[in-house]
Structure 1
């Protein structure tokens, strides 16, 4: 019987309860996956063909309670993992989330059938807790800024602290895989899906910080999966919707996209996630427009990079980039037969069961060798063993930091001042009233994952904490003329305006809003709430500052910097270029006003 299964044997208790189940003890993973214990091969030999195929599948469900569909996939298909999304764990206490993950593990640990049945095998439980715009766990964990904020800090030690803090919180919730870090190089300012999820535009810097993130996360006992190979940073199409084309040469890939993935492997990453991209140089000789995620040739190249013991993980197999041509079940069979070890499904249980049946049939017919399946299942079981799901192993003994303190440090060290016409920091006494113009939160929810927060949810909330006399005008991301006029009147009435922009280059009316504010003839301070590229389109203003994130810690850090609170100097540097005058690494000279802040 698996180690975790023998511990929880039907328990569904959560931490702090009288019947709390012992937590699995992770191995120290900061130097990569350790050698597998004998239980890996012992367990592999006991699994039926159907259970082996189940082990390479990771499935999902809707709502805050496991559905009959997902429980059926655990019971009947013996799936190897569950991936959680914001509707599962965005709300609720740590106790509730841990109760859910314990109940899922208990279900997976129940053997099926009678004598000689498949043994219970504990689950990989995964999330995308990247920070910034992509988070799944809300109220039960600390919300961190994203990778680009860390890139602006340039600090490997801060990245390692952040990754460790996030991982420890996840591990306490029963989550043992965080699908990150994102190691894509964001070389395209118009990229619709990566942006601030990336550390930045410099391959060496991305690789250096990815190394720190992987080591910090895995040292804390949570598997890291670097993504999205071979690199999604120059895409101009969202692969959730359609298949992006990257018509790069081999030399370009070697110079820009590939270095961070090589660094991830050298750092001991547990696995690499593929992207649904058309990269012809990697699929030469195969059918046209073949996604690398389904390409035997491309996946063989990735296997050479990662070696025999690490996981190759598919991206979501229900994404538009592949399902329109191959379907979910067909994509799953292609991804697996091509070389992937773990197949991610979203919420379509019918397609997940169909994929399971098709892979079982392919192995039975011999079109996919049993040895190929065994190799993937062995990697999956080895990953489970590494996080203490199969055998008792020594734990990392580092003393954990307060995650709230770490998140605050990340947010503050990220703050980047790009322009200042001697406006900042503000002295409250000089500005008795301030107008704050900001996008509506419900419209932000269509652009990034919004979960319940502790602390300020908006820019105005953060400003009000330091300067109560504010007027607030909320506008759409593409504000119509009446909203622009209301914002201009607010600015004129107050005498100074702080305006929050959000991905301005994607919304034609945001620059027009700034034109309307300039007509008010008052000082304008722009805060880019996500992408720093907003600077390129805002026009003439008095100051521009960004924290690369709308998470509470970032909003607080922006407000502290604007008002010159002690310790809040804008020390971040640009992780992406904003034209020739503002290259990667640009840092505004810190004015003396921040060195000698007002009380």
Structure 2
């Protein structure tokens, strides 16, 4: 049989839709018949060392197609990898996976994504060990989502936490997974299962379901079931052992948690236990330093006591462990050629986005040849990765039908479900003098001001929806950090208005937003504060008469917010976190579970 197994496709390979079809068979046996572990061990034994090591790595590539000729994409790929495009990248390095991003021009529209996925899969199964790819992305929904409309957009985790509905959490994940798989994406780096116990957390915030382990665990189980329903996509619980208590995002710098071992086990680990018991396909190891778990102060992703000692042995997890991006700022102080070796020794399987792919692969191959890592250790990770690919049906058929993408992505039914769920997320925290709901067709002069997403013009969208309901609007987008001139202009415009709606986004980090709200409150006009990010902003302007938490600024959340503002739906969301005083965090202003309804509803 030679050094490699020979793969044969059992039917005509090319169909009119431009995708490949037919079950993949090895040694004359259809893989769907069972005995996959034995077959996969044969595959591993037939791979060269470089092919095995390549399976451990996941990285990004520039271009909207697998054979892109776009000059800018080609230039970037040559600089990073010495190749022109994704097909060449996969062939040269025998990659186990690719991760898609907007900024790499991978995710422009569903059909384009599907074609890209098929092209990359052809390159994988047509070269080297002929193993299909894991193709992943960060489609968390809410704040972090890579694939935009027409794909269905759902509120993010904290908004889902406000519903308390495990059904809604499962439905959102199931639809997201179905749409991703239709585009050829088979691994989602979601859900975030960190317990957001620190209001000043810049890593999680609204990406977390909330600040209570029990709630986060329930939602975690629901989302794992949703994503992995019918083998759609591999879910990835992140960021082990938890980023909920830190203030620093490990993408940008070194994050340390000073929690005790007991507290970490009681607060941060329960959602990961829930993920493991739910059969999650992969777990992402974070770069956070937890001295209580590893006295050497190695980042968790590089720590054997944490990955192997806790995740593998104490939690009993034997699935795929993927590192957070190895190019993250948290690892900047380490020898880049040593990082992949440290990760493997820690117990990780997939090595995500090394700073220098060639150097990383070469360093692992050299470590095996020098006896620093055994080839058997590499084989264990490769087998886990291949088992996941088998579970996802990739050995049977790794391709998608490009012509049928629109039948799965952004369908009217999916959009209705997203709107239904969003309607349940909005939390009315404060409503003095029953200022809300606003009256339609009043003709009142309404000033819509504050933070706006520059990519989508979210404030203009909000203003437009208010105007559609019969109010006269003027709009001023001030960004994260309003200037003194903008604040003065806002104050003057507010004095001429009957009502003010001010949008904030994580004002706890931006004193200028706090100053803007205080200036508006000083005009004496009725002010509605709408938090489009973290719900903690009310701690910084407690005099605001009305405060509504939307937990997000995507269109689906903004539309639900406006429906609440005008009483078209009753606010039913409840705080999934505790809001404490800005000066005395332990003094509770609004407790976990708080949420107002309209009178008589």
Structure 1 partner of 2:465: 462
How far is 1:466 from its partner?
2.7
SS of the residue corresponding to residue 390 of structure 1 reads: coil
SS of the residue corresponding to residue 528 of structure 2 reads: strand
1:429-448 aligned at under 5 Å gives the runs 429-442=441-454
Structure 2 partner of 1:232: 243
How far is 1:391 from its partner?
3.5
Matched, 1:295 2:265: no
Structure 1 partner of 2:44: 44
Counterpart contact for 1:10–1:106, Cα < 8 Å: no
For residues 239-259 of structure 1, the C-alpha deviation after alignment (integer angstroms, 9 at most, x for no partner) is 112211112211111111111
Larger RCO (alpha carbons 8 Å, 6+ apart): 1
The CA RMSD over aligned residues, in Å, is 2.6
Of 350, 367, 375 in structure 2, the residue corresponding to residue 342 of structure 1 is 350
Counterpart contact for 1:24–1:389, Cα < 8 Å: no
Distance 1:282 1:490, change over 3 A: same
SS of the residue corresponding to residue 20 of structure 2 reads: coil
Matched, 1:104 2:120: yes
Structure 1 partner of 2:378: 373
Distance 1:457 1:228, change over 3 A: farther
For residues 145-200 of structure 1, the C-alpha deviation after alignment (integer angstroms, 9 at most, x for no partner) is 11000000000000000000000000000000001111100000001121000000
Of 511, 531, 534 in structure 1, the residue corresponding to residue 534 of structure 2 is 531
| CA distance in structure 2 between the aligned counterparts of 1:588 and 1:340, rounded to whole angstroms | 45
1:160-559 aligned at under 5 Å gives the runs 160-220=170-230, 221-284=232-295, 286=296, 289-301=297-309, 302-305=311-314, 307=316, 309-327=318-336, 329-345=337-353, 348=355, 351-391=356-396, 402-421=413-432, 422-442=434-454, 458-467=461-470, 469-559=472-562
SS of the residue corresponding to residue 171 of structure 1 reads: helix
| CA distance in structure 1 between the aligned counterparts of 2:315 and 2:60, rounded to whole angstroms | 26
Counterpart contact for 2:322–2:352, Cα < 8 Å: yes
Counterpart contact for 1:274–1:293, Cα < 8 Å: yes
Counterpart contact for 1:274–1:314, Cα < 8 Å: yes
For residues 7-28 of structure 1, the C-alpha deviation after alignment (integer angstroms, 9 at most, x for no partner) is 89986x8xxx633434999xxx
Counterpart contact for 1:165–1:403, Cα < 8 Å: yes
Counterpart contact for 2:91–2:123, Cα < 8 Å: yes
1:4-83 aligned at under 5 Å gives the runs 6=9, 18-22=17-21, 36-66=36-66, 67=77, 68=84, 70-83=86-99
| CA distance in structure 2 between the aligned counterparts of 1:392 and 1:529, rounded to whole angstroms | 42
Distance 1:171 1:498, change over 3 A: same
How far is 1:47 from its partner?
1.0
SS of the residue corresponding to residue 369 of structure 2 reads: helix
Structure 1 partner of 2:70: none
Counterpart contact for 1:456–1:552, Cα < 8 Å: no
How far is 1:91 from its partner?
5.1
Counterpart contact for 2:451–2:459, Cα < 8 Å: no
SS of the residue corresponding to residue 126 of structure 1 reads: strand
| CA distance in structure 1 between the aligned counterparts of 2:350 and 2:464, rounded to whole angstroms | 42
| CA distance in structure 1 between the aligned counterparts of 2:389 and 2:382, rounded to whole angstroms | 11
For residues 386-439 of structure 1, the C-alpha deviation after alignment (integer angstroms, 9 at most, x for no partner) is 10011379xxxxx99822122212211100000001111111244522110032
| CA distance in structure 1 between the aligned counterparts of 2:380 and 2:23, rounded to whole angstroms | 24
| CA distance in structure 1 between the aligned counterparts of 2:278 and 2:468, rounded to whole angstroms | 42
| CA distance in structure 2 between the aligned counterparts of 1:24 and 1:138, rounded to whole angstroms | 32
SS of the residue corresponding to residue 326 of structure 1 reads: coil
How far is 1:306 from its partner?
5.2
SS of the residue corresponding to residue 494 of structure 1 reads: coil
| CA distance in structure 1 between the aligned counterparts of 2:94 and 2:120, rounded to whole angstroms | 12
SS of the residue corresponding to residue 590 of structure 2 reads: coil
Counterpart contact for 2:12–2:21, Cα < 8 Å: no
How far is 1:463 from its partner?
2.4
Matched, 1:152 2:152: no
Distance 1:5 1:496, change over 3 A: farther
Structure 2 partner of 1:570: 571
| CA distance in structure 2 between the aligned counterparts of 1:24 and 1:265, rounded to whole angstroms | 30
Q: TM-score, normalised by structure 2?
A: 0.87
SS of the residue corresponding to residue 377 of structure 1 reads: helix
SS of the residue corresponding to residue 579 of structure 2 reads: coil
| CA distance in structure 1 between the aligned counterparts of 2:366 and 2:137, rounded to whole angstroms | 30
| CA distance in structure 1 between the aligned counterparts of 2:291 and 2:35, rounded to whole angstroms | 36
Counterpart contact for 1:165–1:401, Cα < 8 Å: no
Distance 1:465 1:45, change over 3 A: farther
SS of the residue corresponding to residue 473 of structure 1 reads: strand
How far is 1:515 from its partner?
1.9
Counterpart contact for 2:65–2:112, Cα < 8 Å: no
How far is 1:43 from its partner?
1.5
SS of the residue corresponding to residue 444 of structure 2 reads: coil
How far is 1:382 from its partner?
0.2
Of 120, 127, 139 in structure 1, the residue corresponding to residue 130 of structure 2 is 120
Counterpart contact for 1:413–1:571, Cα < 8 Å: yes
| CA distance in structure 2 between the aligned counterparts of 1:342 and 1:161, rounded to whole angstroms | 28
| CA distance in structure 2 between the aligned counterparts of 1:227 and 1:483, rounded to whole angstroms | 39
Distance 1:4 1:246, change over 3 A: farther
